[in-house]
Structure formats: C-alpha cells, structure tokens
Chains A and B, each alone.
Chain A
Amino acid sequence: MSSHAGRVALVTGAGRGIGRAIADSHAAAGAAVAYLDHDRELAETAAREAVAKGWQAVGLSADVADYEAVVEACRKVTDAFGPVDILVNNAGISPKTGADGRRSPAWEMSPEEFRRVLDVNLTGAFNCARAVLPGMKAMGRGRIVNQSSVAGKTFCDIVGVHYAASKAALIGFTKHLAGEVGPFGITVNAVAPGRIDTPLMRGTASEANEAARMATPLRRLGSPEDVAATYLFLTSDSASFVTGQVVDVAGGWLMT
C-alpha cells in the first residue's frame, strides 16, 4: 500500500507503544518517517528495524518539552527527507506516583509533577507544531494529529488530574489550531483512545484494566494498531474534509 508515498511524517514518542505503531503504519504506507523519542535507544532501534523492512525511516532523540531540541530535530528531518507534511503529537506521560502504583491524588501531587506532565503532553505538542507549521504553510498542505484521551473528556479514575487536564487542553489546542491553519490547507484533529494495551497502560493495576475491559462494549482492550489505523486514516486523503475533530478509538467505552 502506498497511500502515503512522498509524504514526510514526524511522530513523537515513536520509540514504543502507540507511537511506534503509528510510525510503523505510516512507513509501511510509503511515508518517510522520523521516529522521535526522548529515549535515544528506543528511537534508534525502532528506526533501524523500520529500515530493515525496506521503509524510509530515521531515529531522533529529543525531549518534546525542550523547544530548542525540537527545532533541531525538525531541522534533521527536513535535511534527511524534506519538509514535514504530517506531524503526530503522541509523546505523553502519565505518572503513577501514589500508593500501590496508583495516581497521586491532587492533594498530594507535587507541583513539579503537575508541571512536567503539562510540559510534555501539552507544551510538547505546541513546540512541535510551532516548529513545523511555517513549512506546512509554505507548502499549502499539512496534517497534524494530537494524541488526546477519553480521560480528557470525562472523569476516568485511572489517571491523575495533571494528565486529564493536559489531554483536555490538547482538545482546545486542536480546535483552535484547526481554525487558524485551515485556510492554508492544513487539517488538525485529535484522537481520544480508550484503554490501549501498551507499556504505559501496564503500569496500572490489572484490576483497573479488567474493569475498563468490562466497561468497553467491544469487550477488549485496544491494540496500538487499532489506534494507528485511525491516524493513518486522518493523515490520508480519505479524511480531506475532516478538521477540528476528536475521534474516539475506545471500543465504545464512555462514548464521550
């Protein structure tokens, strides 16, 4: 399949989990993909394995919360493949520093932890968009997709207040940015996954995940590939008139 041939995609948090599946699906569809992750080892391994499959890929290490590092990474992508057409803001953290590996309750959370989650999950998305938008504007096309969560739309007992706030903020970010950049042929959307089986999710107690599975009408947890397929749709011409929207990929969980 070469629905994305000739496109350049930058995927953050692409070293593992959902980000890795999104990056792989775009590379398999013909895009040249920059696998960006804070963890250099993960980014380079993922990109190396992609290249071994005959895909176009490069691994990059940067903390999305660090604007200078993001700009430098984008310069490397542009040097390697040309300007970025597709930005996937997937990098995200959900610290579980309370008792028994649960979220820290708001009344005990450290201000540093709160700030760091906002820095990565929200400001990280701004930093990357800020870095690639001038290029997209100049080309008159572009796709940005932001990783929100059903936890950004409704109370979800598993996550902390910082995470919910950051994911809700990404929805406002998505809607506003879609309005600003639509006239330049750029679409901006968000995806709100439900419970997806990844290393991040396995950080929470298994009873909580079983409860989420039973509350999900499709009676299973999602896979990273389930989410990646929606990203591939949103960045393809199939979604050319879809912008400013949040797509739930949650098996019917919460129907937010």
Chain B
Amino acid sequence: MTTTTHDFSGRTLLLTGAVGTIGREIAKRFLASGANCVVTDLDLDAVTSFARDLDPNLERVLPLKHDAGMPEDAERVAQAAKDRFGAIDFVVTSAGLYKDAMVETMTDAQWKQSLAVNLDGVFYTCRAAIPHLAEGGSIVNIASVAGHRGSFAHAHYAAAKGAVLTFSRSLAVELAPKIRVNAVSPGLIDGPMVQNLLQMTGTKLIEQTPLKRLGKPEEIASVIAFLCSSDASFITGASLHVNGGLYISS
C-alpha cells in the first residue's frame, strides 16, 4: 500500500522553516504532487541549496530568506510568492524553535525569542498571506503535543504552541467558508529537535508510545498534504495529532 496522493498542480505552497527535518519532507511531498513551492528559512544559502536539490532550475521552487519573528519578512515573502506564482493556495508554518529552559531561571530574552518564532511568526506569516490567498486555499499551522499537555523545561515553547492552536481555530472562523485553517500536532519525530530530549529520557518515551517508535517526518508531511487536499474539504478549525499514540486526548 502507498500513501494517497493528491494533485496540487498549478497551486502554490508558502512554507516556513523549510530546511528543517519536517519542512524538507513537506516541500518534497508538495513538489511531487505538482505544487509550486515558496520555501523560506533563516539562512538563505541553506534554503537555496535545498531548493536547487529539489529543482535545479528553480522553475517551481522559490527559495527566500525569512526570519519568522520579523513582520516585514513575512510581507516580503508573501508578496514575492504572489508576484512569482500569481496567488498562494497553501500556507504551512513549520518554523520552530525548541530550546531547554526552566521557568525559574528563564530570561526575558529566552521567553521572547521562543514566542517570536513559535507564535508571532505564525501570526505574521498568516496575516501577510491572507490578501493573496486563493479561494479554496488551506492553512496548516504546525503546533505540537507540547501545546496540548505542556512540556517540562519548555514552558515558553508549550505556551506558544498552545496559542497557535487557539489562533488557528479563531482564524478558521474568520476565513470560512473560503479558506480552511487547521493545526497539526506532532509527537516525537525523528530529527535533531528531539535528540536532547531522548538523551535525557532514554527509551522511556518510545516505550510509552503505543506504536513503539518515533515518527518519521514524512508521516507529518502526509497528514499536512491530506489537510490541504480536497479530501479534507469539510475539515476546518481542527487539530490533528500525529504521535503514534504517545498522547491520547480530546
């Protein structure tokens, strides 16, 4: 059996955090489904070389520098997407920052940096994209299991991700019926983001996961593709957990 595939030809994805573990798989999947991809991340060289790997002549991929915490970057990126491909059909916010810090000793700067990337970035990116969104479009914000249940030594991250969930629901009501807005909450996905955590906790978290393994970044990308597709045309304001059963709630 293979995953279901979708036809996104002629449609355009705006993706933040595109050179991250999950972001790369999202870009690959949408490109393979025929979409144009505007791939953005902090480091222009990294995102450009990733884009060239995907599409050597950069015909359907546009790499751009984008600091998620900067509103003017979001405006520039959304305008560039519109200028190059005509409109934006899908927005996926994958930029994220997961740093360890206990509340008692957390500095203002640490708190602000986490909120800037994980929450403000989602707001800036969505706000900038709205005027260019095509009818029938879809926004998927990546939250986290941390946004539902909290997270030891990551209160700033969990608070931001929880806010992303309620932001997404609110935006779903504002943009309905033309645009759908949903959130995806990954559990433990194999990549650099979880290495520290796994070093600290050993195999405990995998044992607690009913499917007894880490998720693969492709398994997040396939859920996001579903939510953007017409197969999910009656799904809006929802959040979908992809965690192998590690957190079973709501």
Contacts and interface: CB of A to CB of B under 8 A. Distances in A.
B141 to A, nearest CB: 15
Contacts of A245: 240-241, 248
Given A3-B3, A179-B248, A244-B245, A233 B236 contact: no
**Range of interface residues on chain B?**
35 or more
Interface in A31-56: none
B234 A182 contact: no
A157 to B, nearest CB: 20
Interface string B204-244: 00000111100110011011011000111111111011111
Interface string A1-23: 10111110000000000000000
Contacts of B243: 241
Chief secondary structure at chain B's binding surface: loop
Contacts of B4: 1, 3, 29, 232-233, 236, 238
A180 B169 CA distance: 32
B201 interface: no
Contacts of B225: 238
Contacts of B231: 229-230, 232-233
Contacts of B105: none
A217 B234 contact: no
B244 A241 contact: yes
Contacts of A6: 1
Contact of A243 (B1, B2, B210, B236): B210
A239 B172 contact: no
B250 A251 contact: no
A250 interface: yes
A101 interface: no
Interface residues of A, number: 49
Interface string A213-254: 000011110110011011011001111111111111111100
A237 B222 contact: yes
Given A182-B211, A229-B231, A251 B236 contact: yes
Nearest to A192: B238
A4 to B, nearest CB: 6
B210 A244 contact: yes
Contacts of A227: 234
A244 B248 contact: yes
15 contacts: A178-B210, A179-B245, A182-B212, A218-B176, A219-B177, A230-B231, A232-B231, A236-B3, A237-B3, A241-B242, A248-B235, A249-B234, A250-B234, A252-B236, A255-B172
Interface of A: 1, 3-7, 29, 153, 175, 178-183, 185, 187, 194, 217-220, 222-223, 226-227, 229-230, 232-233, 236-252, 255-256
